Amino acid sequence: MTSVVAMTGDEVVATFGAHLELDRGMSPHSVRAYTGDVRHLLAYAESRGRTWREVDLPLLRGWLASMVAARLSRATVARRGAAVRSFFGWALESGLVDADPSARLVTAQPGATLPPVLGVEAATRLLEVARLAATSDDPLTVRDWVALELLYATGVRVGELVAADVGDVDRSGRLLRVMGKGGKERVVPFGVPAARALDAWLEDARERLVTRDSGAALLLGARGRRVDQRQVRALVHRAAAAAGVDDVAPHALRHSTATHLLAGGSDLRSVQEILGHATLTTTQRYTHVTPERLRSSYEQAHPRA
């Protein structure tokens, strides 16, 4: 086994990546992002004659300053700072370093941005056009319809949807079980329109696409295999164009779900559970897009409104 002193930067980053994947259950995409950010720091340290074990607070501050000078976005700088804090926190806990140089590192928080959303009328038009386009002659049009209905009805991430199996659907209870970030399972409800689309898909259209490669996958492609995220993104863009609404990606439907739930009176905790957010802070991004509801709630509740 390689000693701590002899461990190279590439080796320690690979070990950190394995920790993120196996111990913290992070997705491959998140692991790549975190390890890429740490490698960026270690390359900066190497350019100044330092190894990963010789990184200190002044070097970290210089690294952040170099990114600001390069005009990287606040979001990128904040993300890289968070990744490095996670790395050194793990290294300290694992006994790889004697002190955490990032403990007093301060990074500017990214400015809050308004997620792109569809209005209720636009979302309704998108789904209605998809419903009308769905025909028994082309099972893929039914697949597109049910994918859109589930994305909007449940607010699930596109990766969660494509990973779902037929057995994850409770049709009588109108519930969908998905595996979220960090391997956390949650059950989300869906309404009658999505249930109708699922009935059309599961009782007829899906069976016409099934092959021996289909397995238990809920959503299938033209060759009978589980759809991937790229295919779902493409169908969402096609549907938006066909409906004549703003071009959106699947994640915009998730944002729309959160916004419309809050506008309709749902509380933050419930929306947090539906979306699978780890903290309430993430869900609170959507509260400022419904000022009418805030005013109405204030006027109903405050004694001196």
Let me know: does 271 contact 257? Beta carbons within 8 Å: no
Name the nearest CA neighbour of 197 among 239, 251, 252, 242. Answer: 239
- Give the H/E segment covering residue 186: strand 185-189
**Active-site choice (34, 44, 152, 286):** 286
Neighbours of 124 (CB within 10 A): 15
- Give the H/E segment covering residue 87: helix 74-93
DSSP state of 40: H
181 in active site:
yes
**Active-site choice (80, 131, 157, 260):** 157
254 in active site:
yes
Alpha-carbon gap, residue 96 to 11, rounded angstroms: 12
Helix (H, G, I), strand (E, B) or coil at 189: strand
DSSP state of 24: S
29 in active site:
no
Burial label for 105, CB within 10 Å (0-12, 13-18, 19+), is middle
**Active-site choice (39, 40, 181, 233):** 181
Alpha-carbon gap, residue 103 to 85, rounded angstroms: 7
286 in active site:
yes
- Give the H/E segment covering residue 38: helix 28-47
- What's the per-residue H, E or C state across 232-288? HHHHHHHHHHHHCCCCCCHHHHHHHHHHHHHHCCCCHHHHHHHHCCCCHHHHHHHHH
288 in active site:
no
71 in active site:
no
**Active-site choice (19, 80, 226, 277):** 277
**Active-site choice (80, 143, 254, 255):** 254
Axis crossing angle, helix 74-93 with helix 28-47, rounded to the nearest 10: 90
Write out the catalytic residue numbers: 157, 181, 251, 254, 277, 286
